[in-house]
Amino acid sequence: EVQLLESGGGLLQPGGSLRLSCAASGFTFNNYAMNWVRQAPGKGLEWVSATSGSGGSTYYADSVKGRFTISRDNSKNTLYLQMNSLRAEDTAVYYCAKGTSYYYDSSTYYWDYWGQGTLVTVSS
């Protein structure tokens, strides 16, 4: 059974930093691209970032480019999101989502399993 368990969320002030983790199990982790998708309070879903199976290729939404860094440790079956220079508009539940292929591209990017999310609140 595929399981994705996010952790690391919390309350912090604007300008702060936070690292989210996603522990994966139930599938061969390094065979699949992984993603972060977020949902701000009362809003819809927004794709944030993706990484290929090896971690060698990374992709970001314009809204987080230059501030967030996605990475993975395939020896620990864990996905990370380092978030710096946080803003109030980054407040959201952050979901870890599994891709359907090793690569992240227009035909395989979609997400077949998701975690339950971790809440990040940025407020002064």
Partner 1 sequence: QSVLTQPPSASGTPGQRVTISCSGSSSNIGSNYVYWYQHLPGTAPKLLIYRNNQRPSGVPDRFSGSKSGSSASLAISGLRSEDEADYYCAAWDDSLSGPVFGGGTKLTVL
Tell me which residues touch partner 1 (CB under 8 A).
Answer: 4, 43-47, 59, 61-62, 95, 97, 106-107, 109-117
CA distances from 54 to 7, 42, 57, 120 (A): 22, 34, 8, 27
C-beta of 73: minimal distance to partner 1 in Å? 22
Closer residue to partner 1 in complex, CB, 53/115:
115
C-beta of 24: minimal distance to partner 1 in Å? 13
Closer residue to partner 1 in complex, CB, 5/16:
5
Report DSSP letters for 39-100, one per residue: E-TTS-EEEEEEE-TTS--EEE-TTTTTTEEEEEETTTTEEEEEE-S--GGG-EEEEEEE-S
C-beta of 115: minimal distance to partner 1 in Å? 6
Closer residue to partner 1 in complex, CB, 16/119:
119
